[in-house]
Amino acid sequence: MIYTWHYLLMSFMYILAGIMHFIKPKAYLRIMPGYLPKHKLLVGLSGIAEIALGISLLLPKLKDPAIYGIILMLTIFLTVHFYMLSGKKASAGIPRWILLLRIPIQFALMYWAYWYLLI
């Protein structure tokens, strides 16, 4: 498989995002919904998932399962985006317009991943 620059960008983006869970865990802990248990564990697991999925995109046999995994992960992450819209404290100081913009961006990221199943 020949990797395009935008496919490599997608892979790098998820790897970097996953690494950031370990470099700046407080940023992720701050936005975790109160109804989810063991925030620190979930932040670590989601970071590991992003790194693993980003790397898996680069392995031809794992490409398709990684894409489905990314779409599932982004769907699960929508719960955090909607939670952050629930109030001032949940928003972590991020302006509401940015929080609202993140939702369609999340769907665009899902489509971006899905598109590689079609080609």
16-63: pLDDT as tens digits = 999 999 999 999 999 999 999 999 999 999 999 999 999 999 999 999
Confidence (pTM): 0.93
Centroid of chain to Cα 92: 18
Q: Which residue has the tokens 């819209």?
A: 85
According to the model, what pLDDT value does residue 2 have? Answer: 85
- The token pair at 26 is 């407080």
